Amino acid sequence: MRETVQAEVIMTFLVSEELSFRIPVGLDYDSSDPYAVKFTFHLPGDAPVTWAFARELLLDGLSQPSGEGDVHISPASGEHLSDVFIRLQVGCEGALFRAGAAPLVAFLDRTDRIAPLGEERSVADFEYDLAAALDNILAGNTEGQNAG
């Protein structure tokens, strides 16, 4: 059975040292893709922008600089569970966000109840097998109804 977790957090979009503003960001997790989380950024005047990246990257970035490529997450300070920086990069263009760690930890905790970290594969396999079994059952019932 497909399960989802959704949350909304307020992040600070750091445009420059002089300019920043707070924006709502939707967090989504879907057990059909158990390794990923999606962040939907609602920037003023623009269509929402969604980024998907590894759930483990988000977890790692809460305590240490993490990420390669387009997404980098790191603690804002050495304090335990302070804010985190999330840097998104596309080519030479980038965006930097600051978020409180506590709501991210709460979100990750809820995803862990659906698919514990390290056990994503078994959750995905179970859901795939369940969907295939249901398809077979429904196909069998349809054939049985047509035969009668």
Of residues 86 and 137, more confidently modeled? 86
Listing DSSP states for the chain in one string gives ---EEEEEEEEEEE-SSS-EEEEEEEEEEETTSTTEEEEEE--TTS--EEEEEEHHHHHHHTTS-B--TTEEEEESSSSTT-EEEEEEEETTEEEEEEEEHHHHHHHHHHHHHHS-TT-HHHHHHHHHHHHHHHHHHHHHHHHHHHH-
4-147 architecture in CATH? Roll (2.30)
The pLDDT-based confidence of 144 (bands split at 50, 70, 90) is very low
Task: Give pLDDT tens digits for 17-35.
Answer: 999 999 999 999 999 899 9
Does the pLDDT value for residue 147 go beyond 60?
no
- Residue 126: the pLDDT is 53
Could you state, in order of their start, the residue ranges of all structural domains in the chain?
4-147
> In DSSP terms, which residues pair with 128 in a beta bridge?
none
Lowest mean pLDDT across 64-68, 69-73, 116-120: 116-120
- Residue 11: the pLDDT is 97
**Mean pLDDT to the nearest integer, 37-43:** 95
User: Exposed/middle/buried for 68, CB within 10 Å: 0-12, 13-18, 19+?
Assistant: exposed
Task: Give pLDDT tens digits for 73-85.
Answer: 999 987 667 899 9
Does the pLDDT value for residue 106 go beyond 70?
yes
The mean predicted confidence, pLDDT, of the chain is 86
- Residue 113: the pLDDT is 92
